[in-house]
Amino acid sequence: MGLIIDGKMIAKEIKEDIIIQVEHLRKENNIPKLAIVRLGNNAGDISYEKSIMKSCTEVNIETKNFTLDNNISTEELQQIINQLNEDTTISGILLFRPLPKHIDENLIRNSINVNKDVDCMHPLNLERIFEGDYSGFTPCTSKAALLAILNSGIELDGKTVAVINRSMVVGKPLSMMLLSNNATVTICHSKTNDLKKITKNSDIVVTALGRAKYFNKDYFTNNSIVIDVGVSQDKDGKLSGDVDFEDVVNNVGMITPVPGGVGSITTCVLLENVVKASIKKSTLI
Ligand code: NAP
């Protein structure tokens, strides 16, 4: 049986470290506080919001929620973002995406104070990742996938990695981070030919399609390290990754489950970013 990478355990270790950092900040009267901005009442967003608030409470980070109407205009949303930018009690801003179609997302992304941009929406923070500069914020999901690899004792130096996703939220920043760790990266997408050949020839495969159980054991070898970022529902309505876990787990070297894998680590990266924002705040005041 392949080794199952325990995302919950990795998350627990990261949280322990965050608790200590928050304690230090609080002693200096620097209270980490996350503003959570949600538009509308999407069930998935509400559940994600609840889990973020629970995690923040666990590490003693404060939260302030802003639930806005889905029909809010770009200008009104920009005004709220500006107020949060100015509010010195707020360390970081998390704006749930995707935004409704009528909102000018580019304008909003550019409105967020780069030093409060804990979800790495601002083009400047993304650009830094592409330059190999990690002084800004890292996109939470990409960093979580990287941590699932690194915190499992896997040495990336010289490894071949297939990243199946080319979005700006997951695949592109993750590929840059893997490159910075000396991996040789192949970025795959829906137009990639002979995906199976690429995955079978890669030491590590990161999947982020959003199609439940798409990959069976034929895509991997006994040595494959499989990092499953995808989250969707299977035909029975059960939460599932892109990989058919039952079919694959006995035929690979290591694998992350869904749930309990990358997703468990993602929120921790957000918490790390809030701590980073609080430290930035104290150096800027
Ligand atoms: P997205 O923008 O829809 O990206 C999907 C990617 O998969 C695209 O690059 C697409 O290629 C590629 N793709 C689709 N079908 C393919 C196929 N048959 N063969 C090869 N590539 C294919 O989605 P996203 O926002 O990046 O999210 C991806 C997944 O990650 C979703 O399941 C989402 O729920 C999950 N996610 C997880 C977390 C977490 O914390 N675990 C957080 C965020 C997102 P094209 O570019 O050619 O269309």
CA 228 to ligand 1 center in whole angstroms: 11
pLDDT in tens, 27-81: 999 999 999 999 999 988 998 899 999 999 999 999 999 999 999 999 999 999 9
Ligand 1, atom nearest to 169 Cα = 26
Ligand 1, atom nearest to 211 Cα = 32
CA 190 to ligand 1 center in whole angstroms: 10
Q: What pLDDT, on the 0 to 100 scale, is given for residue 284? A: 64
Closest C-alpha among 91, 172, 184, 65 to residue 126: 172
CA 167 to ligand 1 center in whole angstroms: 7
Q: Choose the residue to mutate in 190, 192, 215, 266 for probing ligand 1, maximizing ligand atoms within 8 Å of C-beta.
A: 190
Helix%, strand%, coil% for the chain, nearest 5: 45, 15, 40
Strand blocks (E) in the chain: 3-4, 33-39, 62-68, 92-95, 160-164, 184-188, 204-207, 225-228, 232-233, 239-240, 254-255
Q: Choose the residue to mutate in 188, 229, 233, 258 for probing ligand 1, maximizing ligand atoms within 8 Å of C-beta.
A: 229
The residue whose C-alpha atom lies closest to atom 48 belonging to ligand 1 is 190
Q: What are phi and psi of 164, to 5 degrees?
A: -100, 80
* Paired tokens of 156: 């990336």
Q: What pLDDT, on the 0 to 100 scale, is given for residue 1? A: 76
Domains of the chain: 29-115 (3.40.50.10860), 140-263 (3.40.50.720)
Radius of gyration of the chain (CA): 19
By CB atoms closer than 10 A (0-12, 13-18, 19+), residue 175 is buried
Return the SS3 of 162: strand
Q: What pLDDT, on the 0 to 100 scale, is given for residue 283? A: 75
* Paired tokens of 92: 């970081």
* Paired tokens of 207: 């999947």
Q: Tell how far CA 169 is from the center of its chain.
A: 8
Residues in the chain predicted with pLDDT less than 70, given as ranges, are 284-285
Q: Which residues line ligand 1 (CB under 6 A)?
A: 141, 144, 164-167, 169-171, 188-192, 195, 208-210, 229-232, 262-263, 266
Closest C-alpha among 7, 110, 23, 105 to residue 59: 23
Q: What pLDDT, on the 0 to 100 scale, is given for residue 99? A: 96
CA 232 to ligand 1 center in whole angstroms: 10
Ligand 1, atom nearest to 170 Cα = 26
CA 188 to ligand 1 center in whole angstroms: 11
Tell me which DSSP letter residue 122 carries. Answer: S
Q: How far apart are CA 109 and CA 172, in angstroms?
A: 17
Q: What predicted TM-score, i.e. pTM, was given to this entire model?
A: 0.95
CA 165 to ligand 1 center in whole angstroms: 5
Q: How far apart are CA 208 and CA 199, in angstroms?
A: 13
